[in-house]
Structure 1
Amino acid sequence: MRKLTYYVACSLDGFIGDPKGDASSMFQFVDGEYAAFMKSEYPETIPSVAREAFGVAGVPNKRFDTVIQGLGSYRLALDTGITSPYAHLREIVATSSLTESPDPNVELVAGDLVGRVRELKAEDGPLGIWLCGGANIAGQLADEIDELVIKSYPQVYGSGMPMFGTDFAVRDFALEDVRTFGNGVVVRTYTRKR
């Protein structure tokens, strides 16, 4: 069975973006040793338009073959004219407001997102599914998440978009790995305790 991984960047106080979801203040930390880590360990999470600049154009996907995101995350690309931000992956966008996909590589899911994720997890294949964001989608899929990879950036937001937009419920995870970088970024990997 394939696993669903919430691979997400957040502030020290657990926000994945400002109140409108903008996380551009975190981009300054993608440099040097940390950028090398991203390129070697998670090359498929680099958007298609940046893959050549990062030196990963043509690099095979290492961990994921599918990405799931909400319309808020997807709209960041759409607003710049990019209809398939992760063209090297199968792209799924959870939305009830877009009724027609702007790109043949992008599947829209308006209804049962949990059911669609369970179908994806049941597929054969060595690679997993990347939950890109945002908070609402992570909240809907909280019980389906098998792994968390939290990239904590050395910033405090005070308020903003939380990692999970859901009601209170305790879900236990086990710490598997911690990587620290000279720029202050900490990447923690957790697996779901079931």
Structure 2
Amino acid sequence: MKGKIIIISAPSGTGKSTIINALLDRGEIDMKFSISATNRQPRGEEVHGVNYYFLSDDEFRSAIAQDAFVEYEEVYPGRFYGTLKSEVERITAEGHNVILDIDVKGGVNVKKLYGEDALSIFIQPPGLEVLRQRLTSRATDSAEAIEQRLAKAEYELSFAPEFDRVVVNDSLDRAVAEVDTVIKNFLSVCVEEC
């Protein structure tokens, strides 16, 4: 049986990656993490096909022209990241569910592309002030970068109604449990109806 697509999107600092990693560590749901493609060079010990699919600028642009991505984004000028259709197809054809950790616009687009075969979950912060505190406590960004992230988060929050489910991450344990339940319910319904 073909696997399903689980989309998790959220503004930066909301806990999306932490929630995904907690679910993968539990190992209760048959989910494989999708390997993204990028046109940047490998860093350190990164390996092609393990950490990313490393493509040249020309290869990435050619893949865009050939409609080879379920979603892609130019994150910085000339620096692209995306999810290859072949990667989603490879995982789902093996009977595994694929989990996508992608930006909100990509999440909306992937849901439109796959319809009922996909579940889209939006992780929402309890508020912008809480998000500011989380980003500040990370101590990884300048004050200017934090303000840019907050402005982007405010814009991204406007996409929440386009997702199948919205989970507020006001408590990490509760948010992980809620996302776990939502995914399990979706997969059990799909076994019977999809």
Same fold per TM (> 0.5)?
no
TM-score band by shorter chain is: 0.3 to 0.5
Higher helix share: 2
Larger fraction in strand: 1
- What's the TM-score, normalizing by structure 1? 0.43
Largest Rg, 1 or 2 = 2
